[in-house]
């Protein structure tokens, strides 16, 4: 051994976490920060969920029931912002923090102090956003797309919302930089790019998407701010500006954002299905290329969100065909998951149930997405409940199901305890039955012409709305089981083995359960 | 090729990580400013 390495070994002393509250405030450890992200995300999931309950209670029957229309609009807007930026994105960053170093054989993330900063910005951003509910003029109510000129009518809440979005963006960009720097610089010897687990690949590509599009959102909202307070007219028609330009800029961010919310989910499912099918993932390299193709295509389809705005026909055709093209790499993925299961020795523990639920239900969301991609059809569906049904199938039974699958899959590794399998299965079946009661009727409502973002509706929509609301309340209650299962597993339970699952493969399973505070102090050799 | 000892390797990796982080940060800021500048250009040259 060289002199330098002897010296290094001498200096090194393993230390555990600090004690008390300051451990969490000052931590630079990837596992601590991962835990903070995941708990924050769970909290936001319930805050955003409570807002969804208000929405569904109001829509339980026609006529004005519980809240006034303006408050209803505040609920739809904040429900979306909180679920997207507060629940789903931080959950994926939490999973990345916990898992990336363990999967690539690194001791920690590449930039641990920036990691701490990325997380601790978020509670302030969301306190500010939620705080706007108590301000003069109420919280923002123009929808999560915050389109001008409507959003420019927001009261005192406006600058706070803009600042909160900037902070969320900064947090995401710093998180993405950390992910890229970690994956490209900290892999164990022998861990070539094409040997990386699919979750690592999907996160690497997602991180590039984040860096490319979060600044675009920040630019758009900065211009909204200057339009409102500094007399510019970027998006104000009266001053020569163009509100449609905002829509183009917003959706240039917004569509890749959709893939930011789903690509890591693809990665999680690609880890889980091979484990419980006890087979290697079918078509690993095609999965990597499909992920990269989806990421590329996500940049050239944005205007399918605005077919009805009045575009040249050539533009509509381009965006229609480009959007349909996304079905090809997505189809490759679904085909590969199904082929992985083909003739496998499958068992159906809770993570696998959620992963299978993902494959089936996300595909339903994918198909309704294809229907929406057809420009002439979209003229009928646009801004109806069909769109609401579509994106909830993609985001709830897609992204959130994958997050839950991943949580059940890795929770025994993180805590050293097995969760209660019976309760986990109850959680899956209750969620799956109720989520379909909640969202499937919304397809029919949309096809029948019920517009989205309204607190009242014609009596012809009454039955399906009532069914949807009942499903909504039941789905909301089912999620309390998830919180209970997670918290009780953290507190104790049957000891989990290091391997946890028979068919699990990857470096994270070579570590003890729970893993040591610093994952790999010596880089493992990957063959 | 010259071989490096672990300490040198570590130092090179740290340097590369720092450079990469700064580069990606600059890229993000460039996107932010770029989209605002593009909008200024579109605003000052409206299509008839």
Mean pLDDT (whole number) for A332-345: 97
Mean pLDDT (whole number) for B21-38: 94
Q: What global pTM score does this model have?
A: 0.94
Per-residue pLDDT tens for A133-163? 999 989 999 999 999 999 999 999 999 999 9
When pLDDT is cut at 50, 70 and 90, the band that residue A8 belongs to is very low
pLDDT at residue A91 is higher than 90: yes
pLDDT at residue A7 is higher than 50: no
Mean pLDDT (whole number) for A241-267: 96
The catalytic residue among A144, A401, A414, A509 is A144
Mean pLDDT (whole number) for A456-477: 97
Q: What is the pLDDT of residue A9?
A: 42
Mean pLDDT (whole number) for B6-35: 91
Q: Is A472 exposed, middle or buried (0-12, 13-18, 19+ CB in 10 A)?
A: buried
pLDDT at residue A19 is higher than 60: yes
Residue of B20, B35, B46 for testing the chain A interface, max A β-carbons within 10 Å: B35
Q: Choose the closest CB to A219 out of B8, B21, B36.
A: B36
Q: What is the pLDDT of residue A69?
A: 95
Per-residue pLDDT tens for A345-377? 999 999 999 999 999 999 999 999 999 999 999
Q: Which helix (H) or strand (E) holds A296?
A: helix A284-297
The catalytic residue among A257, A349, A378, A508 is A257
Q: What distance in Å separates the CA atoms of residue A175 and residue A168, rounded to the nearest whole number?
A: 10
CA distance, residue B23 to nearest chain A CA (Å) = 9
Query: Among residues A440, A431, A338, which one has the least CA distance to residue A393?
Result: A440
More confident: A24 or A1: A24
For chain A, what is the mean pLDDT? 94
* Chain A residue at shortest CA distance from B15: A185
Q: What is the pLDDT of residue B1?
A: 52
pLDDT at residue A397 is higher than 60: yes
What A365-369 contacts at long range (C-beta under 8 Å, 24+ apart), as own/partner pairs, is A365/A390, A365/A391, A365/A392, A365/A393, A365/A394, A365/A397, A365/A398, A366/A327, A366/A330, A366/A334, A366/A394, A368/A393, A368/A443, A369/A394
Spell out which residues of chain A touch residue B17, defining contact as CB-CB under 8 Å: 110-111, 181, 185-186
Mean pLDDT (whole number) for A82-93: 97
Q: What is the pLDDT of residue A522?
A: 85
Mean pLDDT (whole number) for A85-99: 97
> Can A144 be counted among the known catalytic residues?
yes
Q: What is the pLDDT of residue A110?
A: 94
Percentage above 70 pLDDT, chain A: 97
The catalytic residue among A30, A56, A98, A108 is A108
CA distance, residue A113 to nearest chain B CA (Å) = 12
CB A519 within 8 A of CB A511: yes
Mean pLDDT (whole number) for A390-395: 97
Q: Choose the closest CB to A4 out of B7, B16, B34.
A: B7
Residue of A2, A148, A165, A216 for testing the chain B interface, max B β-carbons within 10 Å: A216
Q: What is the pLDDT of residue A256?
A: 96
CA distance, residue A518 to nearest chain B CA (Å) = 17
CA distance, residue A111 to nearest chain B CA (Å) = 8
The string of DSSP letters for A423-485 reads HHHHHHHHHHHHHHHHHHHHHHHHHTTPBSS-S---GGGHHHHHHHHHHHHHHHHHHHHHHHH
When pLDDT is cut at 50, 70 and 90, the band that residue B43 belongs to is confident
Residue of B12, B15, B36, B42 for testing the chain A interface, max A β-carbons within 10 Å: B36
Peptide bond into A270 cis (omega under 30): no
> Can A171 be counted among the known catalytic residues?
yes
Q: What is the pLDDT of residue A18?
A: 78
Q: What is the pLDDT of residue B40?
A: 87
Q: What distance in Å separates the CA atoms of residue A471 and residue A192, rounded to the nearest whole number?
A: 46
Per-residue pLDDT tens for A192-228? 999 999 999 999 999 999 999 999 999 999 999 999 9
CA distance, residue A36 to nearest chain B CA (Å) = 23
pLDDT at residue A6 is higher than 60: no
Whole-angstrom distance between the N-terminal and C-terminal Cα of chain B? Answer: 62
The catalytic residue among A27, A293, A330, A368 is A330
Q: What is the pLDDT of residue B10?
A: 81
Interface size, chain A vs chain B, as Cβ–Cβ contacts under 8 Å: 83
> Can A518 be counted among the known catalytic residues?
no
When pLDDT is cut at 50, 70 and 90, the band that residue B4 belongs to is confident
Per-residue pLDDT tens for A99-119? 999 999 999 999 999 999 999
- What six digits make up the tokens of A401? 């199901």
> Can A166 be counted among the known catalytic residues?
no
Residue A215 and residue B39: Cβ atoms within 8 Å? no
- What six digits make up the tokens of B28? 């993000």
CB A69 within 8 A of CB A148: no
Mean pLDDT (whole number) for A89-105: 96
Q: What is the pLDDT of residue A15?
A: 64
* Chain A residue at shortest CA distance from B11: A185
Strand partners, B23: none
The catalytic residue among A452, A453, A505, A518 is A452
More confident: A10 or A519: A519
Q: Choose the closest CB to A180 out of B24, B29, B30.
A: B24
pLDDT at residue A3 is higher than 50: no
Mean pLDDT (whole number) for A258-262: 96
ipTM score of complex: 0.87
Q: Choose the closest CB to B24 out of A4, A211, A234.
A: A211
């Amino acid at each position: 051994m060289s002199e330098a390495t002897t010296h290094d070994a001498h200096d090194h002393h393993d230390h555990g976490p600090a004690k008390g509250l300051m451990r969490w405030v000052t931590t630079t450890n990837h596992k601590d920060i991962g835990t903070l992200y995941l708990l924050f995300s769970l909290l936001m999931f319930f805050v955003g969920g409570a807002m969804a309950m208000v929405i569904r209670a109001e829509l339980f029957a026609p006529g004005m029931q519980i809240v006034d229309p303006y408050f209803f609009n505040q609920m739809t807007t904040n429900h979306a912002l909180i679920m997207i930026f507060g629940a789903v994105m931080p959950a994926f960053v939490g999973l990345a923090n916990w898992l990336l170093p363990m999967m690539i054989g690194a001791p920690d993330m590449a930039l641990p102090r920036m990691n701490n900063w990325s997380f601790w910005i978020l509670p302030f951003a969301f306190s500010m956003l939620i705080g706007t509910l108590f301000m003069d003029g109420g919280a923002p109510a123009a929808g999560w797309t915050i389109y001008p000129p409507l959003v420019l009518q927001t009261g005192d809440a406006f600058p706070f919302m803009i600042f909160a979005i900037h902070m969320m963006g900064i947090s995401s960009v710093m998180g993405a930089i950390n992910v890229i720097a970690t994956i490209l610089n900290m892999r164990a010897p022998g861990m070539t790019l094409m040997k990386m687990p699919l979750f690592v690949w999907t996160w690497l590509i997602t991180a590039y998407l984040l860096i490319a599009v979060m600044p675009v959102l920040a630019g758009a909202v900065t211009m909204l701010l200057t339009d409102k307070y500094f007399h510019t007219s970027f998006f104000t028609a009266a001053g020569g500006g163009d509100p449609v330009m905002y829509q183009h800029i917003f959706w240039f961010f917004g569509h890749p954002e959709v893939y930011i919310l789903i690509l890591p989910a693809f990665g999680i499912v690609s880890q889980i299905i091979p484990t419980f099918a006890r087979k290697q993932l079918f078509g690993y390299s095609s999965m990597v290329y499909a992920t990269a193709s989806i990421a590329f295509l996500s940049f050239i389809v944005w205007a399918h969100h605005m077919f009805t705005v009045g575009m040249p026909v050539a533009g509509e055709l381009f965006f229609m065909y480009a959007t349909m093209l996304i079905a090809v790499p997505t189809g490759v993925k679904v085909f590969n998951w199904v082929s992985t299961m083909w003739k496998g020795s499958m068992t159906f523990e809770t993570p696998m149930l959620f992963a299978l639920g993902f494959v089936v239900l996300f595909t339903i969301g994918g198909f309704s997405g294809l229907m929406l991609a057809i420009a002439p059809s979209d003229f009928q569906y646009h801004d109806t409940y069909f769109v609401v049904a579509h994106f909830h199938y993609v985001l709830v039974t897609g992204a959130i199901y994958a997050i839950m699958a991943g949580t059940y899959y890795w929770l025994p590794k993180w805590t050293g305890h097995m969760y209660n399998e019976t309760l986990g299965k109850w959680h899956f079946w209750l969620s799956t039955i109720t989520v379909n009661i909640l969202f499937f009727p919304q397809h029919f409502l949309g096809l029948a012409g019920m517009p989205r973002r309204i607190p009242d509706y014609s009596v012809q929509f009454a039955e399906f709305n009532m069914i949807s609301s009942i499903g909504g309340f039941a789905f909301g209650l089912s999620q309390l089981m998830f919180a209970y299962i997670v918290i009780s597993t953290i507190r104790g339970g049957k000891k989990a083995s290091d391997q946890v699952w028979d068919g699990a493969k990857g470096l994270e399973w070579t570590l003890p359960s729970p893993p040591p505070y610093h994952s790999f102090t010596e880089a493992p050799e990957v063959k | 090729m010259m071989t490096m000892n672990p300490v040198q390797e570590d130092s090179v990796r740290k340097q590369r990580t720092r450079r990469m982080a700064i580069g990606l940060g600059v890229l993000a800021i460039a996107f932010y400013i770029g989209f605002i500048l593009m909008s200024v250009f579109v605003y000052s040259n409206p299509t008839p």
